[in-house]
Amino acid sequence: MLPPTVLSNDDLAAMVDTSDEWISTRTGIKRRHIANGVTALELASGAAERALEQAAADPESVGLVVCATILPDKIVPSLAAEVRHALGIQNAVAFDINSACTGFVAALITAAGVMEAVGVERALVVGCEILSRITDWTDRKTCVLFADGAGAVLLSREGGPGFLAQSLMGTSENMYALSCFANWPEGRYAEAPPSPLITMGGDNVYRFAVTEMCAQMELCASRAGIALGEIDHIVPHQANERILRSVAHKCGLPIERFALNIAEAGNTSAASIPIALDELNRAGALKRGDTVMLVGAGGGLSAGAVLLRW
């Protein structure tokens, strides 16, 4: 689910020293959507409602709501709890996960584990970001990348095999290469804090993303006993088209195997995988029995993958 306001490369060129050609050749992005007056709750609950409609599922059948986000509307209650309330669900476990661009993968794996541990039959997993709130619109290295949106899936213990394998990793090396500092210096809230904005060491993030996205895909496929080249669809975090082309090359895969929507949606962090997956599904590209690899890497630094049977 993408908010209605569209910010084109030409719009950005009127704001900072950049151009459509500069942005397109370096990122693959042509347009991005900005939540102008739209809340994270509106995006997240809208995406969750669409997932329930797609599955023809009753909201009251949901026993768990997990939201992957780095910036909910409130600290407490969680965005997941607000989504639960907005959907009219009276009783369900609800919590948020902050793992930046790996967030949706981490949320899927966590939700599956919680479902098994406490006997939940159905779970909503939502990725939602409003990165425009923390984007430095004077920094052309970052403001051309980030965007807003939400996507969701419904997990069920009924039916087919579902998850075939999963993997997660994290490292403290270069952990601040992609960061956004909060307003609690020295453990206390600042009376007049500066607005926290995203900063990025592009070279370190690029190398990490290419290396670890490929590594996590290979590990996940190996755990499932499936050759990477046999996987039907790869739905990656939409970090940057150059990164994704490098991942495809490093893994020896055609870029056509990767679902790409970055040109129109930009980098929406934890929301990018479910948004791209939803587009693939609604286009009729996914057939029952297809193997689908979801893979992400980003802030933390962290990376992970899930291989599932559609």
Give the mean model confidence (pLDDT) for residues 173-202: 69
* Residue 187: per-residue pLDDT: 53
Give the mean model confidence (pLDDT) for residues 212-224: 97
Let me know whether 217 and 91 are in one domain.
Answer: no
Let me know whether 105 and 187 are in one domain.
Answer: no
What percent of the chain clears pLDDT 90, i.e. is strictly above it?
Answer: 83
Let me know whether 222 and 149 are in one domain.
Answer: no
For 72, the 3-state DSSP assignment is coil
pLDDT exceeds cutoff 60 at 198: yes
Let me know whether 187 and 240 are in one domain.
Answer: yes
- Within the chain, residue ranges assigned H as helices are 9-13, 20-27, 40-55, 79-86, 103-118, 140-143, 202-224, 241-251, 262-265, 272-282
Question: Residue 218's pLDDT band (boundaries 50, 70, 90)?
Answer: very high
Let me know whether 106 and 183 are in one domain.
Answer: no
Question: Residue 17's pLDDT band (boundaries 50, 70, 90)?
Answer: very high
Please say whether the beta carbons of 132 and 148 come within 8 A: yes
Let me know whether 255 and 171 are in one domain.
Answer: yes
Give the mean model confidence (pLDDT) for residues 136-164: 91
Q: Which of 156, 178, 213 is the last residue of a domain?
A: 156
101 is catalytic: yes
d(CA 35, CA 38): 5
Question: When comparing pLDDT for 174 and 275, which is higher?
Answer: 275
Tens of pLDDT, residues 75-120: 999 999 999 999 999 999 999 999 999 999 999 999 999 999 999 9
Q: What is the CATH number of the domain that holds 101?
A: 3.40.47.10
Domain total in the chain: 2
What percent of the chain clears pLDDT 70, i.e. is strictly above it?
Answer: 95
* Residue 119: per-residue pLDDT: 93
* Residue 164: per-residue pLDDT: 96
d(CA 29, CA 21): 10
* Residue 202: per-residue pLDDT: 74
281 is catalytic: no
Let me know whether 148 and 215 are in one domain.
Answer: no
267 is catalytic: yes
Phi, psi of 305 (to 5 degrees): -150, 155
Let me know whether 122 and 176 are in one domain.
Answer: no
Return the minimum-mean-pLDDT range out of 127-136, 197-206, 231-240. Answer: 197-206
* Residue 162: per-residue pLDDT: 87
Range of the domain at 268: 163-309
Q: Which of 138, 156, 174 is the last residue of a domain?
A: 156
Let me know whether 254 and 230 are in one domain.
Answer: yes
Indicate whether this model's pTM tops 0.85. yes
Q: At what angle do helices 103-118 and 272-282 cross, to 10 degrees?
A: 80
Cβ within 8 Å of residue 249, ≥6 positions away: none
Let me know whether 14 and 143 are in one domain.
Answer: yes
* Residue 258: per-residue pLDDT: 97
Q: Which of 9, 33, 67, 101 is catalytic?
A: 101
Question: Residue 15's pLDDT band (boundaries 50, 70, 90)?
Answer: very high
Question: Residue 201's pLDDT band (boundaries 50, 70, 90)?
Answer: confident
Beta strand 5-8 with 31-34 is: antiparallel
Let me know whether 15 and 149 are in one domain.
Answer: yes
Tens of pLDDT, residues 249-276: 999 999 999 999 999 999 999 999 999 9
Q: Which of 214, 237, 240, 251 is catalytic?
A: 237
Q: Which of 95, 129, 156 is the last residue of a domain?
A: 156
Let me know whether 106 and 210 are in one domain.
Answer: no
Q: Which of 9, 240, 261, 267 is catalytic?
A: 267
Tens of pLDDT, residues 289-303: 999 999 999 888 999
